[in-house]
Structure 1
Amino acid sequence: MTKKSNAGSTSAPGQFYGYGIQEARFLHHLLRSQPGDTVALECIDDVSGTQDGEKYAEQVKSGLAHNPISDRSIDLWKTFANWLNGRRSGKIPAGTKFILYVAQPYKGKIAQRLGDCESKQDAKAAIADIRKEFWGDAPEFAKRASIPEKLGKHLNVVLAASERALVDIIQAFALERGIGAPYEEIAAEVAAAPIGAENVEQILNQLAGWVHITIFDRIQKGQPAIVSRDEFHTEYVAAVRKFDRSDTILATFATPPSAQDLEAERLLDQTYLRQLNLIGAEQETIYDAMNTFLMAAIDRTQWAKRGYVHRSSFSEYEAALKRIWNSKKMAVKVQMRGESPEDFGTVLLSSCLEATVPLEGKTVSTHFTPGSFHKLANTLDVGWHPDFANLLKGSGSVADAA
């Protein structure tokens, strides 16, 4: 029992590290991707996808315990055997580029030679030399019988393959080696972009978390773990803007709604409008509320769509507004003691709408904070009348979907 427990405790961290390397490479490929590209995890290979219209299949080796590209490494020959079988079965399409990535800076004479082959002649010469090294001279191949069983299981599959099949893979083969710290490599890639070196760690953490959650969610739903460059790019731009403080103003995309839009909004009988009616708000206040509510919704949608604001920042912003509302409510309670509920609500509303609250440290247009307060009023997260929750409970409130 003790032996089994020790084995498990030794292998588990290595397995976790190995899977972590795959996620890191997944993210690295996304950072290098172009419009229209995709990256997949555990589909046709450890990591695969398309880059500039060219398909690739990548085997990822952690190299944590041993050199996976040494000449007699089982990992090396198993990789080529898997690629051969994948091409034969059709799982790996013709024209696919083959990549062997090793996280550690290991060396391997054969792996390096195969990676350096530029022509069919180079590939054929490499195949002949490798067969001679492991099997001996043709046609006897006297050395073949002395190959260890575990190594021979994969090595012999490769060396017994047709020259045409081997040349096809070798010509499309590339060897990539890391520095032993995959996320440092990714950080260097992020730092190469004009975003400010001080933000790299925060952006990297945001992107790594997004990749992990996205992959997990798709696998959990029974979907292939495939991410397009376009959806990743939206997240990337949003993450950069979230931590970049070089610009200080969020430009608005909203224009004042038309008279028809305002009339349609009024007919919806939204909960935030009922909140205003509870305190006897004047028509000017109600029209201003509809304007700011609709314009703030447009800005939220456009900022998120264009990656100007990270989605998580909207939740943080609304949490800040609720804290402001609660603080002002306590102050108004003292200030308006003995006054009517309507007057209480009018003072509280006015105090909240005067607040200036930045988003991701950037100044927002004058309609956004008031419109966001009305969004919270629409979902009954805040209110103006002292007893708004009980008075509007079960009234069929409509939450802003934007």
Structure 2
Amino acid sequence: MTSKPHTEKTSAAGTIAGFDFQYYYFLYKLLTLKKGETIGFEALDDVHTQLNNNHQILIQIKHTIQKKTDGTAANLTELDPDLWKTMHNWSAVIADENDGRVSLNDQLKFVGKTTFVLASNKSFSSNNTFLSNLSDFQVGKINFGKINNYLKELCESTKSEETKSYLGSVISLGEAVLSKFLCNIKSELNVDSIIDQCKTALEEKDVNPREIENLFNQLDSVVRQDMFKNFSDSKKLIYSFEERSRKFRRYFDIANNPELKIRKFEGGLPDRIEEQIFIKQLLEIEDIELSEQEVIQNYTRYRLMLESNLSNWVDEGQLTSEEIEIFEDEIFRQWETEFRSSYRRRDNPGEYVDIAHKILKAMRGKELSISGQKLLSDMGHGSLYSLSNKPVIGWHKDWKEKYK
């Protein structure tokens, strides 16, 4: 018999595949979440769902990389460690004193509002007597006494001390709790091609078929980043239906190409309006004069209209922060090209005002768009005023020294 190399013995391939299977199962459930529901990852269980009727679904995820000769995943057997470890974990949760379930009544109440699901890529086998007996008990073909005796006999016959311990914790629940517990167990076996199921869920939401792959990749990235951030801060990863809609809405909108809704700015203006950096820059290059208060007010409204719409679009999930970064980066690159070429080999300070005004005029003449949608000229100009107010762009050759 040939032993495996040490590198194969220490390979984490199975662990990684198992975690990713659990993650994509969670993503699939997140994509199919219904109104009023919440879903969590590694919170109440591997995955859990809270329904809007105060019922909860606890899901244990088990994955195998072992294959049968036909290439399908290995069977879930009667004494499978994954099966009985799962049953043990649920039994421990049901009788958890630290969570306030000491009494029989509290345990019964908990089990009554809970569905327990074992989800796995392992294959169903008709030789799994436990699953057969469980199904017969749930539909009334056998009574509790028979399945209870079966569990005790299985516990006595198994040679694995670990499995015997797992079975013992299940049996120790007591007849009333165990009976209700067994009634509320479900299995989802042969769960395969879980990534394809995620994409099918997007297709069933009437997403443009040509954009499904890209949309899936974007949502996958968003959720993975949320997971990393939450776990790094020791927080649980839980989404409500409403939060999922807010986070994902814009990505769905992008896939189906609707236009952004632009709102007029109706707020107040700054008290010392002439102290805005972008106004100071425009005064310096003689684009405006202090006496032109109406023009200064209009330019300020253009800036605030742009900024308020960007903020609203992000808050409402119509736009992502990444899209805003791309939008501003594009304006910066266009400005940088104009600025560098205009001042190239021009060292006469007497020319700087005229050159600056030509750069501003050139930028005002460009058609700007965000996420493929053309902006109104007011908002286009407002984006220039916003960036020069931060300031990340300027007009005079020496603007950095004066305003940054």
**Same-fold call, TM > 0.5?**
yes
User: Given the alignment, which residue of 110, 119, 122 partners 1:101?
Assistant: 119
| Residue 60 of structure 1 pairs with residue 69 of structure 2 | no
Taking structure 2 as the reference length, the TM-score comes to 0.83
Q: Which residue of 2 aligns with 1:332?
A: 342
Structure 1 SS opposite 2:374: coil
Report the number of matched residues.
376
| Residue 16 of structure 1 pairs with residue 38 of structure 2 | no
The superposition leaves residues 92-138 of structure 1 with CA deviations (integer Å, 9 ceiling, x where unpaired) of 8441221111134444643365367646x46x6366246337617xx
The superposition leaves residues 343-395 of structure 1 with CA deviations (integer Å, 9 ceiling, x where unpaired) of 222221121122112211122333332222222212221111111101113xx
Q: 1: distance between equivalents of 2:234 and 2:341?
A: 52
Q: 2: distance between equivalents of 1:127 and 1:199?
A: 55
Q: 2: distance between equivalents of 1:49 and 1:265?
A: 53
1:178-217 equivalences in 2 (<5 Å) = 178-217=190-229
Q: Which residue of 2 aligns with 1:344?
A: 355
| Residue 81 of structure 1 pairs with residue 91 of structure 2 | no
- Give the direction of change, closer, same or farther, for the CA distance of 1:366–1:24 in structure 2 (3 Å limit): same
1:3-402 equivalences in 2 (<5 Å) = 4-9=6-11, 12-53=12-53, 54-65=55-66, 67=74, 69-89=76-96, 91=99, 93-94=110-111, 95-107=113-125, 109=128, 110-111=130-131, 114=134, 118=138, 121=140, 125=143, 128-129=146-147, 131-132=149-150, 135=153, 144-245=156-257, 247=258, 249-253=259-263, 255-257=264-266, 261-264=268-271, 266=273, 269-282=275-288, 283=292, 285-333=295-343, 340-393=351-404
Contact 1:325–1:352 under 8 Å retained in 2: yes
Contact 1:112–1:175 under 8 Å retained in 2: no
Which amino acid counterpart does residue 8 of structure 1 have in structure 2? Answer: T
Segment drifting more, 352-361 vs 327-336? 327-336
Structure 1 SS opposite 2:206: coil
Structure 2 SS opposite 1:44: coil
The superposition leaves residues 299-343 of structure 1 with CA deviations (integer Å, 9 ceiling, x where unpaired) of 112211222222211111111111111122234336988563222
Contact 1:70–1:111 under 8 Å retained in 2: no
Contact 1:98–1:174 under 8 Å retained in 2: yes
The superposition leaves residues 2-24 of structure 1 with CA deviations (integer Å, 9 ceiling, x where unpaired) of 96543112xx1111111112211
The superposition leaves residues 181-231 of structure 1 with CA deviations (integer Å, 9 ceiling, x where unpaired) of 211111100110122111111111111111111111111112222233222
Q: 1: distance between equivalents of 2:308 and 2:36?
A: 27
Structure 2 SS opposite 1:262: coil
Contact 2:299–2:385 under 8 Å retained in 1: yes
Percent sequence identity over aligned pairs:
19
Segment drifting more, 69-78 vs 150-159? 150-159
Q: 1: distance between equivalents of 2:168 and 2:322?
A: 53
Q: Tell me by how many angstroms 1:239 deviates.
A: 1.1
Q: Tell me by how many angstroms 1:275 deviates.
A: 2.1
Q: 1: distance between equivalents of 2:135 and 2:372?
A: 49
Structure 2 SS opposite 1:193: coil
Taking structure 1 as the reference length, the TM-score comes to 0.84
Q: Tell me by how many angstroms 1:157 deviates.
A: 2.6
- Give the direction of change, closer, same or farther, for the CA distance of 1:196–1:146 in structure 2 (3 Å limit): closer
- Give the direction of change, closer, same or farther, for the CA distance of 1:103–1:116 in structure 2 (3 Å limit): farther
The superposition leaves residues 141-198 of structure 1 with CA deviations (integer Å, 9 ceiling, x where unpaired) of xx81554323212123324432222222222222223542211111100110122111
Contact 2:208–2:255 under 8 Å retained in 1: no
Where do 5+ consecutive residues of structure 2 fail to align?
67-72, 102-109
Where do 5+ consecutive residues of structure 1 fail to align?
137-142, 394-402
Q: 2: distance between equivalents of 1:285 and 1:117?
A: 81
- Give the direction of change, closer, same or farther, for the CA distance of 1:106–1:390 in structure 2 (3 Å limit): farther
For the aligned residue pairs, the C-alpha RMSD in angstroms reads: 2.8
Contact 1:265–1:290 under 8 Å retained in 2: no
Structure 1 SS opposite 2:131: helix
Segment drifting more, 355-364 vs 326-335? 326-335
